[in-house]
Amino acid sequence: MDVILIDITRLLYRQLTHTLPTGIDRVCIEYIRHYGNRSRAVLCLGPFSAMLSQADSTRIFTALLLPGLSARWLSAALIAKAVLWRWLRVPRRPSILINTSHTGLESPWYAWALRRSGARLVAMVHDLIPISHPEYCRSGEYAAHHVRMRSAATLAHGIVANSSVTLEKFTEFCEINRLPVPAATVALLAPGLRPAPLAGGIEDQPVRGPYFVILGTIEPRKNHWMLLHVWRSIVEQLGAEAPTLVVVGQRGWECENVVDMLERCRPLRGKVIELGRCSDQELHRYLRHASALLFPSFVEGYGMPLTEALAMNVPVIASDIPVFHEVAGSVPDYASPVDGKRWESLIKDYAQPDSAMRTAQLGRLRHFKPPTWAAHFTTVDTLLARLSNPG
């Protein structure tokens, strides 16, 4: 059986910088949960590439599954240890290196380390947004992601795409750039939030009156700016009777206009709550009692909060984009990300205690079966088996 190596570079970096987990990080954690007891951890830091010992791999996998101060200290210690004296050495048996985060694929050293070690790469592709929609990303991300996707095409023996939409975009990229398309599969992502025990009833509700949640890093493509203008309009119409918006997510890049609205728009005071840091337990609580999750993104590679909310029986109002239809079908109510009037109409309807539209979605939700990690890894294991036995 092939030895499985898991690249944990991104997770360790985010531990050291005290950064809250994103959807990509939650996927990395699930791969550790599934493969960790029979895998080794790999770090790739510029020219330094290290495979941790079995003992160190077990220690860091355990710490990452139970994050906290110990994980940060252990991350720092293992990075120092790796850089000081341990270059990438793989077991004598054939090995497969799984990269679930894109991290490292932009570096020529990554390719060098793979060729030197002989490990076969399986790369997860989450999205091609920096290439297809660079206007929503940091400066320089277009070029960096172009290199990452070229590396995925030329270095990887296998590709795991999080959606058919993502695989279609990756295949188009390869065709345009005359690159090979490695063996590929689509494995939908299950919710990243682990189930939490149900608390009390209405007394556990964190916000008085009807409220909605938008979940995700504050960045241009998430479309917070449109939603905040919608909220201003609703507040100006309804005053104290207006619903509350709970903004859950860290402030990202090029979001100054959103920050201005959050900090300086007087009509929104008391009707918009920003939670820059929110534990999983708190997030469960806010989602559980919400009138709906709002997901007005311009573009997504997947959109894990969509499945997380629906799996908790929480209605969703989402952008009318292809990947959301692939993941959630006809369950949510959809609106164009630029149709502020429809968003306003839906939100005002859902805020009513006798909302017919919300009741209808709750009826559709009874038939929704969210993707599972068991199904995801059955698909991935099939791909790994193909790579281990190419004949």
Residue 77 maps to a domain: yes
Same domain, 227 and 177: no
pLDDT for 163 equals: 97
For residue 363, the number of C-alpha atoms closer than 13 Å in the C-beta half-sphere is 6
Q: How many Å apart are CA 250 and CA 180, to the nearest integer? A: 37
Residue-range definition of the domain harbouring residue 355: 202-365
Q: Where are the alpha helices (DSSP H) in the chain?
A: 9-16, 23-35, 54-65, 69-85, 108-117, 129-132, 141-155, 164-176, 224-238, 256-264, 280-288, 304-311, 322-328, 340-350, 356-365, 373-388
| DSSP count for the chain of H helices, then E strands | 16, 13
pLDDT at position 203: 53
Q: Are residues 176 and 275 in the same domain?
A: no
Q: Which of 76, 74, 81, 80 is nearest to 58 (CA)?
A: 74
- Residue at 13 is within a domain: yes
Which residue has tokens 């910088």? 17
Alpha helices in 89-223, H assignment, sequence order? 108-117, 129-132, 141-155, 164-176
Sign of the Cα pseudo-torsion (325, 327, 329, 335, in order)? negative
pLDDT at 12: 83
Q: What is the pTM of this model?
A: 0.91
Give the model's pLDDT for residue 55: 86
- Residues 378 and 360 placed together within one structural domain of the fold: no
Token code pair at residue 352: 């009513």
What number of other Cβ atoms are within 10 A of residue 180's Cβ? 8
Tell me, yes or no, whether 50 lies in a domain: yes
The C-alpha atoms of residue 32 and residue 41 are separated, in whole angstroms, by 9
DSSP code of 349?
A: H
Q: Is residue 196 part of a domain?
A: no
139 and 210, same domain (yes or no): no
Confirm whether 222 is domain-assigned: yes
Cα(120)–Cα(103) distance, integer angstroms? 16
Structurally, the chain folds into a number of domains equal to 2
Are residues 379 and 327 both part of a single domain? no
Residues in the chain, pLDDT under 70: 1, 47, 67-72, 82-94, 195-203, 390-391
Q: What is the pLDDT of residue 71?
A: 67
The verdict on 277 and 378 lying in the same domain is no
**Dihedral sign (CA 253, 129, 179, 383):** positive
Q: What is the CATH number of the domain that holds 315?
A: 3.40.50.2000
Element at 43 (helix H, strand E):
strand 39-45
SS3 3: strand
Residue 182, domain member (yes or no):
yes
Residue pair 317/361 in contact (Cβ under 8 Å)? The answer is: no
Q: Which pLDDT does position 326 carry in this prediction?
A: 97
We report the CATH number of the domain holding residue 29 as: 3.40.50
Q: Are residues 41 and 178 in the same domain?
A: yes
Decide if 195 is inside a domain: no
Q: Give the burial string for 138-151 (b: 16+ CB within 10 Å, else e).
A: eeebbebbbebbbb
Same domain for 27 and 113, yes or no, is: yes
The verdict on residue 34 lying in a domain is: yes
The answer on 279 and 178 residing in a single domain is: no
